């Protein structure tokens, strides 16, 4: 036995000597550079690769199967004139004996100066197509030599008999690598340059330190970014499970979208992929973007089918205004400089390959809390869906602050009010103020039409209260949708000052001039509070019921007013005409006819009424009111005229009818007798709309007609009294007609 063992040992030793000797001979007397042409031909025919080796090929055989390539170019055999990759140097070596045990034991792998260029031409063909596929037999580039006969294939062994491949690599180093992609169809270009990758020993079920850094760029839009990734990789090929632990990503980005600003970003956590279970997770996610800080968990399921995303997201309180400013996206000035200073968010993520939703959302914006769901139902089209509930939003805080022009207009309006008030106090005969002629409306664009044309989605909003321009809209319900440039307000319902508001409408931005259509119903709203909310001095008090159907075109205040058409019907109950003592106006008219002078001061400056009703028909910004009617104790007021919204002016003729001697007049000079009952006493209201009834004066022309009528009636009575039955009726009528002319 000992002799046999000795003999076997000598045989094995001899075989090893022969192998070593053979390796020495092969590596010293066999030069692979002499076979470059053959290698290139085989690469072209068998793998569809156009391989150009300008540098030397270095190699070793035993105990390491080593290879070094220098100055090598790779292209697809289909497009040999479009290089796919340039390689300055590739070095690797593999132990020979472990290969027989299906083990890959490698020393350091080094890739230096790799330049990988991917291109897609105008027809959509990529310069990588054809790699890995042998050339067709009829290709002129294929070898003219017949292909060697293939030996019959042996039956494949069952997969269970295969031992799993084991990796054992000392390290992987990639230096000065570059990867770029160009698409001739879209003109898009993307690149990763200065790629540096280093790893520790790569062994299964062993932590592998990894460090990767690169510079990224794109041309549409122009963007530049730097990023560095570190962590520890662990994998198990048998279980198909991969873990990237202690992941840390950090970098910065700049470019056109950031308008000269820089975005600094970080991300941490642990990435896990279990391909057997078809699951990928990012656990312990922490991220920052400038001053933004967030936490989360992400999980993808059904990786090879229809991937589904689930997770959580939490963003700590941050100043949204400062954050957007740091991204080169400054917000417009707002009435409240502190607006959007406190924003935080918590929610649950859910998504698919083409949708993303934030559910169970809690969003805090300043003093407002919103809950609900926000989703991009279609990532490709940007279809937005939102269903939110909230407590209170003061919208005025987020509106633009008053401009210098607004302040000047307010001051001018106040001055006109002061002058008109002074002119009308204690007098019903002072001249009427002139109708305004200055442009009352801005011609600046209001709506971002291009952005609105691209909107797609629907929104549902319920709020306890929304304050807009001092309008406290309570228990507000809003539903709206947008599709292809047509925006529809399906409903807006709210309580307003103890009354009720309901509005529907559409905004059609598909046309050159946007078309706005509004339908509104208002019931039980104090009109004086409504006017005050719009910075108008109340000219009338009372409870308003209103229905409106209005339409206009354009994209500015001026255009909306100039093109305004439609109709408004209104009723105001239990109200007061402010600074309009119609009783005093009537008293002045009667005193004039009585040829007397008023001797007492007016008892008040306002006129209470039971009901004020009418309708307004709009045509190109001018509202015609043919049926104004007010019911005042003892009096009825009829009116007709025009409101010119283009200049905020009015021109009205108002008639006051005495229904009977319901009470004492305020001055002895205007005591009512039976002759005045039923007559329509005329007033003329002309001037700035904001003056309301203070712009009304006696219509002297109309008063002259009343005087003539009264004189004719008195003469008729005198004729009746003097002639009695002494003359024929025909003669009486002739005499009356003579004096009526």
**DSSP classification of residue 531:** H
Report the largest interatomic distance among the alpha carbons of the chain, rounded to a whole angstrom: 180
Dihedrals phi, psi of 312, to nearest 5 degrees: -130, 155
> For 361-397, what is each residue's pLDDT tens digit?
999 999 999 999 999 988 888 899 999 999 999 998 9
- What integer pLDDT is reported at residue 83 of this predicted model? 83
Asked if residue 286 has pLDDT above 90, the reply is: yes
Minimum mean pLDDT among 12-26, 59-73, 328-342, 541-555: which range? 12-26
> For 108-159, what is each residue's pLDDT tens digit?
888 899 898 888 888 888 888 877 677 665 555 554 444 444 444 444 444 4
Give dist(CA 613, CA 430) in Å, integer: 28
Asked if residue 420 has pLDDT above 60, the reply is: no
Give dist(CA 412, CA 478) in Å, integer: 37
Report the SS3 class of residue 15.
helix
> For 630-639, what is each residue's pLDDT tens digit?
887 667 888 8
- What integer pLDDT is reported at residue 440 of this predicted model? 64
> For 74-96, what is each residue's pLDDT tens digit?
888 787 888 888 888 888 777 76
Give dist(CA 29, CA 16) in Å, integer: 19
Q: Which two tokens stand for residue 625?
A: 């009111």
10 Å Cβ neighbour count for 502? 15
Q: Which two tokens stand for residue 17?
A: 């000597």
> For 548-557, what is each residue's pLDDT tens digit?
999 999 999 8
- What integer pLDDT is reported at residue 658 of this predicted model? 72
Q: Which two tokens stand for residue 709?
A: 């009528």
Q: Name the residue among 600, 588, 655, 644 with its Cα closest to residue 619.
A: 644
Higher pLDDT, 418 or 684: 684
- What integer pLDDT is reported at residue 703 of this predicted model? 61
- What integer pLDDT is reported at residue 19 of this predicted model? 45
Asked if residue 675 has pLDDT above 60, the reply is: yes
DSSP state string for 115-157: EEEEEE-TTS-BTTTTTTSPPPTT-TTS-SSPPPPPPPPPPPP
**Could you give the C-alpha distances from 529 to 307, 493, 696, in angstroms and in order?**
55, 18, 23
Q: Which two tokens stand for residue 386?
A: 């939102």
Give dist(CA 189, CA 179) in Å, integer: 11
> For 619-660, what is each residue's pLDDT tens digit?
999 999 999 888 876 678 888 999 888 888 888 888 877 765
- What mean pLDDT do residues 694-710 have? 65
Hey, which residues does 430 pair with through a beta bridge? none
- What integer pLDDT is reported at residue 8 of this predicted model? 46
Hey, which residues does 657 pair with through a beta bridge? 636, 680
The torsion region of residue 605 among left (phi > 0), alpha (psi -120 to 50) and beta comes to alpha
The pTM (predicted TM-score) of the whole model is 0.73
Give dist(CA 83, CA 72) in Å, integer: 10
> For 222-246, what is each residue's pLDDT tens digit?
999 999 999 999 999 889 999 999 9
Contact 541, 576 (CB under 8 A): yes
Asked if residue 32 has pLDDT above 50, the reply is: yes
């Amino acid at each position: 036995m000992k002799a046999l063992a000795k003999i076997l040992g000598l045989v094995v030793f001899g075989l090893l000597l022969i192998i070593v000797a053979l390796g020495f001979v092969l590596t010293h007397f066999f030069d692979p550079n002499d076979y470059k042409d053959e290698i290139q031909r085989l690469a072209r025919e068998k793998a569809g690769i156009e391989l150009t080796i300008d540098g030397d090929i270095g190699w070793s055989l035993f105990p390491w199967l080593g290879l070094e390539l220098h100055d090598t170019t790779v292209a697809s055999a289909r497009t040999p004139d479009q290089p796919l990759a340039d390689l300055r140097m590739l070095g690797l070596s593999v132990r020979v004996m472990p290969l027989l045990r299906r083990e890959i034991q490698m020393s350091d792998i080094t890739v230096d100066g790799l330049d990988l260029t991917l291109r897609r031409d105008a027809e959509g063909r990529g310069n990588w197509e054809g790699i890995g596929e042998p050339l067709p037999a009829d290709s002129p580039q294929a070898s003219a030599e017949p292909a060697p006969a293939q030996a019959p294939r042996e039956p494949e062994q069952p997969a269970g008999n295969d031992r799993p491949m084991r990796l054992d690599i000392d390290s992987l180093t990639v230096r000065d690598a570059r990867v770029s992609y160009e698409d001739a169809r879209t003109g898009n270009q993307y690149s990763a340059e200065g790629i540096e990758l280093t790893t520790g020993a790569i062994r299964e079920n062993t932590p592998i330190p990894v460090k990767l850094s690169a510079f990224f760029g794109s041309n549409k839009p122009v963007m530049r970014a730097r990023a560095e990734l570190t962590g520890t990789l662990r994998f198990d090929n048998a279980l198909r499970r991969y873990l990237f632990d202690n992941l840390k990503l950090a970098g910065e980005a700049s470019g056109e979208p950031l308008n000269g600003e820089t975005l600094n970003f970080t991300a941490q956590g642990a990435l896990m992929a279990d391909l057997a279970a078809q699951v990928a997770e990012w656990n312990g996610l922490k991220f920052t973007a400038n001053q933004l800080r967030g936490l989360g968990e992400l999980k993808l399921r059904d990786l090879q089918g229809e991937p589904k995303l689930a997770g959580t997201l939490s963003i700590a309180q941050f100043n949204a205004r400062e954050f957007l400013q740091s991204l080169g996206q400054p917000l417009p000035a707002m009435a409240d400089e502190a607006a959007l200073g406190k924003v935080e968010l918590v929610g649950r993520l859910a998504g698919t390959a083409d949708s993303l939703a934030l559910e169970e959302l809690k969003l805090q914006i300043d003093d407002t809390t919103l809950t609900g769901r926000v989703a991009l139902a279609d990532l490709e089209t940007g279809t937005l869906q939102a269903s939110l509930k909230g407590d209170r939003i003061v919208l005025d805080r987020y509106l633009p602050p008053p401009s210098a022009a607004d302040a000047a207009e307010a001051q001018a309006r106040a001055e006109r009010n002061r002058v008109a008030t002074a002119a009308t106090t204690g007098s019903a005969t002072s001249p009427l103020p002139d109708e305004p002629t200055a442009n009352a409306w801005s011609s600046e664009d209001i709506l971002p039409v291009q952005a609105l044309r691209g909107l797609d989605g629907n929104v549902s909003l319920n709020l306890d209260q929304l304050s807009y321009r001092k309008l406290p809209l309570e228990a507000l319900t809003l539903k709206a949708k947008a599709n292809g440039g047509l925006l529809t307000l399906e409903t807006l319902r709210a309580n307003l000052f103890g009354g009720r508001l309901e509005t529907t409408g559409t905004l059609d931005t598909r046309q050159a001039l946007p078309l706005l259509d509004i339908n509104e119903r208002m019931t039980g709203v104090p009109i004086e509070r409504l006017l005050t909310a719009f910075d108008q001095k109340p000219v009338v008090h009372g409870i308003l019921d209103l229905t409106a159907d209005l339409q206009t075109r354009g994209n500015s205040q001026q255009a909306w007013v100039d093109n305004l058409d439609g109709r408004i019907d209104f009723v105001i109950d239990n109200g007061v005409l402010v600074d309009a003592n119609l009783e005093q106006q009537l008293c002045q008219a009667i005193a004039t006819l009585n040829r007397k002078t008023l001797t007492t001061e007016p008892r008040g400056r306002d006129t209470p009424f039971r009901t004020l009703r009418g309708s307004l028909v709009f045509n190109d910004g001018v509202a015609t009111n043919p049926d104004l009617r007010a019911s005042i104790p003892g009096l009825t007021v009829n009116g007709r005229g025009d409101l010119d919204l283009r200049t905020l002016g009015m021109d009205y003729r108002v008639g006051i009818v005495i229904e009977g001697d319901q009470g004492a007049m305020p001055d002895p000079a205007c005591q009512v007798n039976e002759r005045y009952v039923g007559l329509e006493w005329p007033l003329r209201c002309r001037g700035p709309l904001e003056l309301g009834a203070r712009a009304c004066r006696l219509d002297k022309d109309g008063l002259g007609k009343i005087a003539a009528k009264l004189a004719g009636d008195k003469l008729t009575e005198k004729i009746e009294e003097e002639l009695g039955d002494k003359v024929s009726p025909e003669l009486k009528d002739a005499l009356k007609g003579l004096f009526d002319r």
